[in-house]
Structure 1
Amino acid sequence: MPVEIEPDDFDRLVESALDELPDEIAALVSNVVVQVEADAPAADPDLLGIYDGVALTDRAANHSGMLPDRILVFRRNLVEMCDSLDELRDEVRITVVHEIAHHFGIGEERLHALGLG
């Protein structure tokens, strides 16, 4: 049974996940916007989140002046996979950390090895 949560309360879970990042990691996140979308894209409807941008490890020296990268968190998929608010809070945190890891150039294989995939 999916968790029932208001969109604003879900947004606060995402904000909390960002606030829980260690200061030394948060300070390195550069030019990234985190947004919540109700649904994943039709092309990949099972996604929980996605990093849309150029990883720090792949940026050219002249990357400045570009639009911010985006991390999208897909509310409906996360809510539907969780049976409790505590489980949802954990899954949101894992999803946010997973997508931020992509910002740092960490790939899926390594994330799975770390238990974040």
Structure 2
Amino acid sequence: MSKADDHSDLKAPDQAAIQMIADAAFADLPAAFRSLCGEIVIQIAEFPAEDVLRELGAESPFDILGLFQGIGLAQGGGIEGMFAAGHEPNLIWLYRRPILDYWAEHDETLGAIVSHVLIHEIGHHFGLSDEDMEAIEAAAGDV
């Protein structure tokens, strides 16, 4: 077997690689949309926490690819409320193992999946409909 045929050194992208993909996906969003996001922090974890799984009624830790955690604009957080004293920044969690599992089962690039999950979770911050999020994804693809 030639070295070209030996894929034993291939590994799944780690959390740092997923973070880089997520940061690039965020940077590719339309500038006006990004500016409205404020201080959203993107975090990568292997799986959702047990309390998240219970709260969302997930049957498996692979059921959740991402999660918005914080006070969304649609819930009355408003831009000014996001910066109130003592308020933690809004978080978007991307779950590496469920994302990789989804990637393995579908014919999409990893970047497209991470971007989709990221936009979907940001959409929760704004209270956007699925149609709104699809339009943002389309615009991000045009950048």
Please give the range of the TM-score, normalised by the shorter of the 2 chains: 0.7 to 0.9
Residue deviations 1:30-80 (CA, integer Å, cap 9, x gap): 232110111123323210000011111222577222111111000100011
Aligned to 2:76: 59
Which amino acid counterpart does residue 78 of structure 1 have in structure 2? I
Contact 1:40 1:77 in 2 (8 A): no
Contact kept in structure 1, 2:120 and 2:133, CA below 8 Å: no
Task: Tell me the alpha carbon deviations over residues 67-107 of structure 1, each in whole angstroms, 9 at most, x when there is no partner.
Answer: 1111100010001111389621111000000011111122x
More helix by share: 2
Structure 2 counterpart of 1:94: 116
Instruction: Decide whether the 8 Å contact of 2:22 with 2:115 is kept in 1.
Output: yes
Q: List, as ranges, runs of 4+ consecutive aligned residues in structure 1 with deviation greater than 3 Å.
A: 83-86, 112-116
Q: Give the SS at the match of 1:21.
A: coil
| Kept in 2: contact 1:50–1:72 (CA 8 A) | yes
CA-atom RMSD in angstroms:
2.6
What's the TM-score once normalised by structure 1's chain length? 0.80
Does the 8 Å CA contact 1:10/1:75 hold for their aligned counterparts?
yes
Percent identical among aligned pairs is 23
How many residues align structurally?
Answer: 111
- Given the alignment of the two structures, is residue 9 of structure 1 paired with residue 17 of structure 2, yes or no? yes
CA distance in 1, matches of 2:127, 2:112: 23
Q: Which is further off, 29-38 or 52-61?
A: 52-61
If you compute each CA radius of gyration, which structure gives the higher value, 1 or 2? 2
Give the TM-score normalised by structure 2.
Answer: 0.67
Equivalent position of 1:76 in the other structure: 97
Unaligned ranges ≥5, structure 1: none
Gaps of 5+ in 2: 1-10, 138-143
